[in-house]
Structure 1
Amino acid sequence: MNEFNELIDILRKVTRTKLNIPKSFLTGEEFEDFAREVLFPKEVYDLLHKTHNYKQNSQDFVEDSLLPDFKFRNRDLNIEFYIECKYRDITKIQNNIDELTKIHESKKRTHEEEILLEKNINKIGTVEILPQSQYNRLLELNIKQRVLICIGLYYEKTKNIYPYVIPIEHLTTNSIHIYDLENYIVPNNYTVIPDRIAEFYLDKSSNCISCKKTIENRLQQPLCRECHFNWQRNRVFKSEMNYCHSCGKKHKSSVARPNCIECYKKNINVVFDI
């Protein structure tokens, strides 16, 4: 009987501890555990720093808590980087997008309605990833040491968390549209490959040939998502664009020929080792 009472006391303590932690912190800390155990496991990444949790900070705030959640080092490549974990439930957002799309699909849309639909999807699909003050602070830290944001998006319909890893400088603001994260997804329940982290150290930033937004170097798709959708409507492969994909200079480019002549020659030299 005494053992039973002791067990009840333990359960009460655990329950009290969990109830005292705000739900947002609880899910966030659970995602941090997932990031350490699955995405950045100790077999591949050494842990150099870990920020104090909610319970520790509620008793006595530690200044180190202003740093990102983790600092890791990969032993093989000898690269160090910070990871800030953020967990967001996008069920409501995705349901709103699905509902909005379904309403518009039920009738033939005019060009004006197409534009309005895209604007509304952009509006309701944008998620704040970081508070503005934290975004500014981590951007400043990123000058000295690489900072990556590990984002977990939970969607109730699939009962799954979709993890993404994105360099903070790829965030043009403290918010991002959920569709703009597609190039940064990590296969669920898999370790983040160190080579992928190393790629973030290379200067691979390129430009959308239509609006000059910073995107990855993709000669086969040199447009950002929004401009790509606009281009898809016309499907004019050689329609004239405004910028060079590689250097960003003003240039009469196209999806067929995204680079200016100088960048084209440089790429040819690299590919064929001329």
Structure 2
Amino acid sequence: MKSKVILITGASRGLGRIWAEAFLKRGDKVVATARNIDSLNDLVATYGEAVLPVKLNVNDRDQCFDVIKQADQYFGGIDVLINNAGYGLFGAIEETTEQEARDQIETNVFGLLWMTQAIIPVMRRQHHGHIIQISSVLGIAATPVLGIYNASKWAMEGLSESLAAEVKRFGINVSIVEPNAFGTDWSGGSAVKTEPIAFYDDIKEALNGYFKPGMTGNPGTTAPAILKLVDSEKPPLRLLLGKHALSRVQQVYADRLAVWDSWKEISVAAHGH
């Protein structure tokens, strides 16, 4: 199989780092972006010119376009963009400050939007490409105490579903990857936590059980799924990752359908004719 050029945002650690190494090990070329590219020095030492480390803050729209241009010129094209950069904001809605909310949406939604806008002309010129948006099962099934994070992923889902319909005619595929909880630093040092209000202590304690060992997946075992997604001739619009994801989504959708159905007479009557 011909090697591909993969651009991964947020490649310094976590899933992005694991996937970057998996692509490089099998002979692909990787554009690895990070806010601090010193964290990528070992990849460069091991894989040489097959990896292009690039400093990137996805909140800077001009920088996003510059990175795409640089990667395109360096490798002569970009086959896959994996929009992985992002972080979690933990806290109840009432606790969240304006700045915390704006920062979360700025990175998780607008950062992804800028990179997506920048890559489309490149992939359209090539007549092929694959944009992979790293969402979450929380982009389908919201949970308490992660409300703004949930909102950012729901926004990503809607944006990406529309995008898929818009760019399919250019030969560009779009996939939304929806992991359940994995044992990365996402809920640890890389997370932002709001100033607590005691009224929400009990619900936060309940949520902590979701991240206990045994509930979270092994990040290292996600690589084969991502490789298979990238290699697929007809990749899915959505791909769940983790053994808990599907059962949770099935229950959420069953509950939604049941409620909608129980109110259908009211809904239909509201139409007016």
TM-score by length of structure 1 reads 0.34
| Higher Cα radius of gyration | 1
More helix by share: 2
